[in-house]
Structure 1
Amino acid sequence: MFWYWVFWLFIFGLVIGSFLNVVVYRTIYGESPLKGRSVCPHCKKQISWKHNIPLLSFLFLRGKCAHCKKRISWQYPVVEGLTALLFVWWYVMGKGFFLLVNTPLELVQPYFWLMVGVLLLLVLVFDLWYGVIPNAVNMLLLVLVLGYRVALVVMGIMRPQDFWMAVVAGIGLALFFYGLYLLTKRKGFGLGDVKLAPSLGLLLGLRGTIVATMLSFMSGAVVAVVLLALGRKRFGQTIPFGPFLVLGTVMALLWHELIWEWYFGLLR
């Protein structure tokens, strides 16, 4: 039964990932995600069902449109694959990660974290490929996380002081990013990063936010150095910071206490 569910959740994740690609593309170009059948972004020909199978069609067509033979963006298989892996991780790791026992949150919690994962994946895709984080994604994430944290406080699972420290962390991170946004003359950071910060603070708490921010800057610096060394970027050019915030957030969610103890243990 374990591998049965892993298989079908992977397939379901591929389908959801395919839909997320539609959402991303049509949002960027001002179209409704429910507009109708997908078309090739180059020749505008409608894509038939056999050329629209998540992941497999990209491999079968060797990354090219079946009609005009122009290249299909790697965004499509990457997002489909990552979404499928997210669903599998959600199932495999859930027993150790979803630990609330109070009804109804014991049922709500797993789906909350799945939604958070999907929204963080959208942040990564939007910023990495298009350099923006839509207000709708930021607002949906904020409403979701705020509602969940308030429910934890009301049910006595989360201490009010921890909640308010998380609020302070989110506001502080937003002000920090806004300062960098002004300092870099609106080039190094975008307002999307600023608007994302309150959700991350509520999600991670004070310690987690500090760890996630440190990891985001460290990973961003490493990637920037590599891109400079490979000649893919020049000094003065920017790279999207949203993907590194997502990476830092995921790592902090999983290991922020261990990282906190290890790092500050070195300073003693």
Structure 2
Amino acid sequence: MTALAFAVIAASGQTGWLAAAHYWIAACGTALALIDAKVHRLPNVLTLPAFVGTIGLLAGATVNGEQGSLTRSLAAAASLGAGFLLMTFGGIGLGDVKLAPTLGALLGWNSWTALFLGTLAMFLLAAAVNLLQRRFRGRVPFGPYMITGALGVSLWLS
């Protein structure tokens, strides 16, 4: 999975610190997606480094003069994290809440539109896959859809 994600990122033609942030999220995201799919958990031991690494790499992109906004990225991270926190009343798990700021930061780097489209992609992807598999019974691991939707939209809009 990681090799496939890396190949997609490389094929996008991205370079620099933003590309490194995509690779970082793909590497962390592969482990997170596999764990979530297996045991319905997104462990802190991976969600925290994913966030810290992403912010560090986006800060590097800022220093390097790459197009994007670290301020908007941080605001988007807070916004998506807060939005997911509110959704815990609707069944979103706390692991998803802890992963949301990482993905919000990546999406927010590009634009507020990217944040909106990335969030929409997360939910549409989860709905489509689960509808096709007829798996709307019980808990659904949402982390894989979050990671795939966010990375896909971020690469598409970058």
Are 1:211 and 1:256, in contact at CA under 8 Å, matched by a contact in 2? no
- Structure 2 residue aligned with 1:9: none
The two structures, once aligned, show a CA RMSD in angstroms of: 2.3
CA shift at 1:110, angstroms? 5.3
- Structure 2 residue aligned with 1:7: none
Identical pairs, percent: 28
C-alpha separation in 1, matches of 2:66 and 2:20: 18
C-alpha separation in 2, matches of 1:86 and 1:111: 13
C-alpha separation in 2, matches of 1:158 and 1:119: 24
Among 188, 194, 205, the residue aligned to 2:97: 194
- Structure 2 residue aligned with 1:247: 148
- Structure 1 residue aligned with 2:113: 207
The alpha-carbon distance between structure 1 residues 217 and 210, as it changes in their structure 2 partners (threshold 3 A), is same
Q: Which has the higher contact order (CA 8 A, sep 6+)?
A: 2
The 5 Å alignment of 1:69-108 reads 82-89=1-8, 93=11, 96-98=13-15, 100=16
Are 2:104 and 2:115, in contact at CA under 8 Å, matched by a contact in 1? yes
- Structure 2 residue aligned with 1:226: 132
C-alpha separation in 1, matches of 2:67 and 2:22: 16
CA shift at 1:131, angstroms? 0.4
TM-score, normalised by the number of residues in structure 2: 0.84
Matched to 1:214, the amino acid is L
Among 55, 62, 70, the residue aligned to 1:153: 62
The alpha-carbon distance between structure 1 residues 114 and 152, as it changes in their structure 2 partners (threshold 3 A), is closer
The 5 Å alignment of 1:19-168 reads 82-89=1-8, 93=11, 96-98=13-15, 100=16, 111-158=20-67, 162-168=69-75
Give the total of aligned pairs: 155
- SS of the aligned residue for 1:97 comes to coil
C-alpha separation in 1, matches of 2:53 and 2:148: 20
The alpha-carbon distance between structure 1 residues 126 and 83, as it changes in their structure 2 partners (threshold 3 A), is same
TM-score, normalised by the number of residues in structure 1: 0.52
C-alpha separation in 2, matches of 1:241 and 1:112: 21
Q: Structure 1: where are the runs of 5+ without partners?
A: 1-81, 258-268
CA shift at 1:86, angstroms? 3.5
The alpha-carbon distance between structure 1 residues 151 and 127, as it changes in their structure 2 partners (threshold 3 A), is same
Are 1:149 and 1:158, in contact at CA under 8 Å, matched by a contact in 2? no
The alpha-carbon distance between structure 1 residues 155 and 227, as it changes in their structure 2 partners (threshold 3 A), is closer
C-alpha separation in 2, matches of 1:167 and 1:221: 28
- SS of the aligned residue for 1:118 comes to helix
